[in-house]
Amino acid sequence: MSIFEIMGPAMIGPSSSHTAGAARIGRMARLLFADKIDRAVVKLHGSFADTAVGHGTDRAIIGGLLGFLPDDERLRSSFELADKQGMEFSLEEVKLREVHPNTAKIELYNEENNKKLEIVASSIGGGRIKVTEINGSPVELTGRMPTLWILHHDRPGEVGIITSILGSYKINIAFMQVYRNRKGDIGSCIIEMDHKPNEYVIKHLENSEDIIQVRYLPRI
Amino acid sequence: MEYATIEELVSLAEAAETSISEIVLQVEVEEEEITEAEIKKSMLANLKVMKDAVAYGRQNNIQTGGGLVGDEALKLGQYLTAAAESEKNNIYNKIITFALATAEVNAGMGKIVAGPTAGASGIVPAVILAIGEENDLNDQSMSEALFTAAGLGYVVSKKATLAGAAGGCQAECGVGAAMAAGAAVELRGGTPRMAADAFAMALKNMLGLVCDPVAGLVEVPCVKRNAFAAAHAYTASTMALAGIRSVIPADEVIMAMTEIGDQMPTCLKETSRGGLAVTPTALKIKEELRD
């Protein structure tokens, strides 16, 4: 752990969990969506819902969706900036089951490409976050290391192909999670790495036969 | 080189005949594989954020989320402007003004350096910047003191907690005061051993402090508590510089803090279900804010 986690981070107040973490959740949703966000529906649960306005949780999440970092002073005026950029958004309260008290469910829509993403993410303290659900599938995504989120056809050996490609570029895998809904359906894997993959690695993965989508998520 | 206790940190500094800040810097270089120059640059950037927050908070009436605080540093500044010379130059008055300024900026969605947390972010900058202003110190020296504060806080984060929800306010403002006390000793020319004693004395006197914020906001009692804790840190540093020792060593005080935090009821650990948060006035405020 770096000492800059103690004397830092520089952030917009007032709360590392309710403001900085909230901004990171919004930004993570934006990175996962990787498309123009026409409309966002943000549902706040628990303590996030109870003290959203006082902590700027609502503004921080919308600011994160606009791509702002936790130390960006534009977080304060994110509602107005979202209007300007043509990102529609709504905020509501929700009661989710068995989640951390500081949790948000975010739905993002792109009308042109008829795309939708839904995530559930929690702010787990000190500004750290955890995405626990993507499009209904349980995951564990923290953004503390460079991460790849890959969707692929569920075929024998597919995970091996992915890890071999990474290995051939000397990228060391720190943690890896593999999910699927049904046998033979679409598999999803989340790979946290010690190193940042360059564009060639991503291209190589994207060109692989059974890989549907590759999303690179930098450390946040 | 590594350290897991305050004692180890002091021993490393003593053995190398250097300061705690230098040891903290060198360990960071080794651990994070970043150059010394880059690390120093990042800390100077933190110092800049701190200075800006103090400057803004002193001069502005800040609109906060709950509207319960916002003009304290401004009021104090106005009072001191009209006060006698001796009041103006009193370092304690500077310290509390700076701490209020930062804590208000934090409450108003302004930019601060969370250290050890956002809620306790006014303490370390207030002490370091006030000593800096008083003694005409350059940014370099003040930023070195931030390494000392960070290293001391690092040990607490490894051994105990820095979260109010886990350890109460003793883990936030208490540790913030302890970090500031140690840093102040180094900035004022004291030894690593004295810094550890100041750390221990400051933390000892804030043990048991609960986290019971009104309406769950980082406003009451948090903003004013930053000022009290900062003055407290300076007091501890003066005692340590005079050679006053802490009977209980720093690492044992951290252990005591953990034990007290574990025994502290949940209603007093950032849940706003006890203490000040459930007073009639606080409940009324909460009701009004909800509407």
Segments making up each domain of chain B, as ranges: 6-290
Q: Could you please report the per-residue DSSP string of A21-52?
A: HHHHHHHHHHHHH-S--SEEEEEEEEHHHHTH
| Pair (A41, A109) in one structural domain | yes
Q: Does the pLDDT at position A1 exceed 90?
A: no
* B118, B151, B163: residue with CB nearest A14: B118
Contacts of B157 in chain A (CB under 8 A): 1, 5-6
Structural domain total, chain A: 2
Instruction: Tell me which amino acid residue B21 is.
Output: S
- Alpha-carbon distances of A20 from A56, B116, B141, rounded to whole Å: 10, 14, 29
A39-46 sheet: strands from edge to edge: A88-93, A39-46, A102-110, A115-125, A128-134, A137-141
Q: Could you please report the per-residue DSSP string of B181-220?
A: HHHHHHHTT--HHHHHHHHHHHHHTTTT--B--GGG-SST
Other CB atoms within a 10 A radius of the CB of residue B30 amount to 10
| Pair (A104, A174) in one structural domain | no
| Pair (A185, A83) in one structural domain | no
Does the distance separating the beta carbons of A125 and B157 come in below 8 Å? no
A54 interface with B at CB cutoff 8 Å? yes
**Structure tokens that stand for B197 in this block:** 């004693």
User: For residues A65 and A89, is the Cβ–Cβ distance under 8 A?
Assistant: yes
* pLDDT reported for residue A127: 87
**Structure tokens that stand for B108 in this block:** 């108003």
A-B contacts at Cβ under 8 angstroms: 123
Contacts of A8 in chain B (CB under 8 A): 42, 46, 113-115
Cα dihedral sign, B6-B7-B8-B9 = positive
Q: What is the CATH number of the domain that holds A44?
A: 3.30.1330.90
User: For residues B22 and B13, is the Cβ–Cβ distance under 8 A?
Assistant: yes
A51 interface with B at CB cutoff 8 Å? yes
State phi, psi for A195 to the nearest 5 degrees.
Answer: -120, 160
DSSP class of residue B269? B
Q: Could you please report the per-residue DSSP string of B137-173?
A: --HHHHHHHHHHHHHHHHHHHHHS---HHHH-GGGTH
Shortest distance between the Cα of A77 and any Cα of chain B, in A, equals 10
Q: What is the mean pLDDT of each run of 10 residues along chain B (291 residues)?
A: 97 98 97 93 98 98 95 96 93 98 97 95 98 97 98 95 90 97 98 98 98 94 98 98 98 98 93 94 92 72
Contacts of A53 in chain B (CB under 8 A): 65, 289
B88-117 residues touching A, CB cutoff 8 A: 105-117
Cα(B213)–Cα(B155) distance, integer angstroms: 26
B152-181 residues touching A, CB cutoff 8 A: 153-154, 157-158, 162-163, 165
Instruction: Tell me which amino acid residue B271 is.
Output: T
User: For residues A48 and A23, is the Cβ–Cβ distance under 8 A?
Assistant: no
Does the distance separating the beta carbons of B116 and A6 come in below 8 Å? yes
H or E stretch including A128? strand A128-134
Residue with tokens 């202003």, as numbered in its chain: B133
* pLDDT reported for residue B163: 86
| Pair (A125, A41) in one structural domain | yes
A80 interface with B at CB cutoff 8 Å? no
B217 interface with A at CB cutoff 8 Å? yes
User: For residues A89 and A40, is the Cβ–Cβ distance under 8 A?
Assistant: yes
Residue that terminates a domain, selected from A109, A141, A173:
A141
Cα(B21)–Cα(B27) distance, integer angstroms: 10
Does the distance separating the beta carbons of A54 and B114 come in below 8 Å? no
Contacts of A76 in chain B (CB under 8 A): 109
Q: How many residues does chain B have?
A: 291
- A160 three-class SS: helix
Angle formed at CA B264 by CA B259 and CA B266, multiple of 5 degrees: 135
Residue with tokens 């005080």, as numbered in its chain: B253
- The 10s digit of each residue's pLDDT in A38-93 is 999 999 998 898 888 889 999 999 999 999 999 999 999 999 999 999 999 999 99
Name residue A211's beta-bridge partners.
A152
DSSP class of residue A7? S
Cα(A38)–Cα(B285) distance, integer angstroms: 37
Cα(B110)–Cα(B91) distance, integer angstroms: 25
Nearest to B241 by CA among B203, B179, B197: B197
A180-199 residues touching B, CB cutoff 8 A: none
Residue that terminates a domain, selected from A119, A141, A163:
A141
User: For residues A63 and A72, is the Cβ–Cβ distance under 8 A?
Assistant: yes
Q: Which residues contact B242 (CB under 8 A, 6 or more apart)?
A: none
A156 interface with B at CB cutoff 8 Å? no
Angle formed at CA B107 by CA B41 and CA A67, multiple of 5 degrees: 60
Report percent pLDDT > 90 for chain A: 79
H or E stretch including B23? helix B20-32
Q: Which residues contact B177 (CB under 8 A, 6 or more apart)?
A: B123, B202, B203, B206, B229, B230, B232, B233, B236
| Pair (A75, A60) in one structural domain | yes
A62 interface with B at CB cutoff 8 Å? no
Cα(A19)–Cα(A9) distance, integer angstroms: 12
Name the CATH architecture for the domain at B6-290: Orthogonal Bundle (1.10)
Shortest distance between the Cα of B148 and any Cα of chain A, in A, equals 10
| Pair (A158, A207) in one structural domain | yes
* pLDDT reported for residue A185: 86
* pLDDT reported for residue A101: 86
* pLDDT reported for residue B164: 86
**Structure tokens that stand for A139 in this block:** 């995951």
| Pair (A91, A67) in one structural domain | yes
Q: What is the mean pLDDT of chain A?
A: 93
Cα(A17)–Cα(A126) distance, integer angstroms: 6
Shortest distance between the Cα of A19 and any Cα of chain B, in A, equals 8
Cα(B16)–Cα(B7) distance, integer angstroms: 14
Q: Does the pLDDT at position A128 exceed 90?
A: no
| Pair (A77, A109) in one structural domain | yes
> A160 lies in which domain range?
147-217
| Pair (A156, A112) in one structural domain | no
Contacts of A6 in chain B (CB under 8 A): 115-116, 149-150, 153-154, 157, 162
Q: Does the pLDDT at position A122 exceed 90?
A: yes
Cα(B269)–Cα(B262) distance, integer angstroms: 10
DSSP class of residue A38? S
* pLDDT reported for residue A144: 87
Residue that terminates a domain, selected from A121, A141, A161:
A141
* pLDDT reported for residue A183: 80
Nearest to B128 by CA among B173, B176, B166: B176
Other CB atoms within a 10 A radius of the CB of residue A167 amount to 11
Report percent pLDDT > 70 for chain A: 100
Does the distance separating the beta carbons of A8 and B113 come in below 8 Å? yes
* pLDDT reported for residue A195: 86
Peptide bond into B265 cis (omega under 30): no
Shortest distance between the Cα of B44 and any Cα of chain A, in A, equals 12
Does the distance separating the beta carbons of A12 and B114 come in below 8 Å? no
A-chain residue closest to B52, CA distance? A10
ipTM of the complex: 0.94
* pLDDT reported for residue A181: 76
Do strands A186-193 and B111-113 pair parallel, antiparallel, or not at all (unpaired)? Answer: unpaired
Contacts of B118 in chain A (CB under 8 A): 11, 13-16, 19-20
Does the distance separating the beta carbons of B109 and A13 come in below 8 Å? yes
**Structure tokens that stand for B86 in this block:** 């001796």
* A14, A16, A50: residue with CB nearest B109: A14
Q: What is the CATH number of the domain that holds A164?
A: 3.30.70.260
**Structure tokens that stand for A110 in this block:** 């792109």
DSSP class of residue A74? G
* pLDDT reported for residue B66: 92
